[in-house]
Amino acid sequence: MEDHLTYTQYCGIPGNTIHDAVATVGESIAYAESKNFPFCVLSLDFKNVFDRVSHGYLYKILHGYGNGAPFINGIRHMYEGATSSLQINDH
């Protein structure tokens, strides 16, 4: 798998750990702050949230926390109708 994943992928790359992911986020935040760039970090636990919680409920919660329709619709568009496929040896 590691030949098909980018260096920014933390799961499935030997030697990469969750600590690397946390460090990358921390470094990104520090860089954005040093350059005075607006920055937003969104972390979704796909396995626990998107597999076990109603998406409609999740969108209501996001709205309840003050997220606007463009943001929530962006999340919605990423997941509604999403499909995946597996390619092995060009098949």
Quick check: 16 and 9 in contact, CB under 8 A?
yes
pTM, full prediction: 0.42
Length of the chain: 91
Indicate if the pLDDT at residue 34 is higher than 90: yes
Question: Tell me: the pLDDT tens digits for 36-71?
Answer: 988 887 766 555 555 567 778 888 888 998 989 998
- Spatial separation of the C-alpha atoms in residues 11 and 51, rounded to whole Å: 18
Name the more confident of 33 and 87.
Answer: 33
